[in-house]
Structure formats: C-alpha cells, structure tokens
Amino acid sequence: MKNIKFVVKVNRGGNRAPSYVQHINRVPIQTTPNRKMALIMGRLTAEETIKSIQNSRCTPELVSVLVNA
C-alpha cells in the first residue's frame, strides 16, 4: 500500500537551484538542495510550512511523493 506525502519545494528566484525544506522546528527554516534529505510530511503540516515561509523572495510549492506504508 502506498501513501501520498508531501515535501515543500522552495524557489528563491534567479539562477539558484530549488531547495527543499529539511527542518521546520528551527528559525529560520532549514533547507537542503538534496530532495532525498527533505522532510516528508502530511498535507496540513506542509501547508502550514508554506504559509510560514511565504514572502516576496521565495516561492514555496507542494510536491507530492509516494511512500510505501
């Protein structure tokens, strides 16, 4: 059985590669360019994370991931 979980992808504009949220319990939120090290979370947690990091410099988005249960 597979479940759908989410990672938060952050684009900071320009020529930078996208990064993914790694830790949400730190200020500022820690990101990583490696998707395998990204924090996999439920939809509600991911949406709250997006609301907390949304600003004019970065564009966060949800990316779905299939996870074996």
| pLDDT tens column, 28-50 | 889 999 999 999 999 999 999 99
Q: Is 15 exposed, middle or buried (0-12, 13-18, 19+ CB in 10 A)?
A: exposed
Residue 27 reports pLDDT greater than 80: no
Domain ranges of the chain: 2-54
Is the preceding omega at residue 33 within 30 degrees of 0, hence cis? no
- Amino acid type, 23: H
**pTM score, whole prediction:** 0.84
Query: How does pLDDT run across 13-22, given as a tens digit for each residue?
Result: 777 888 999 9
Number of Cβ within a 10 Å radius of residue 35: 13
Q: Read off the pLDDT band of 26 (50, 70, 90).
A: confident
The sign of the CA dihedral 38, 29, 60, 15 is: negative
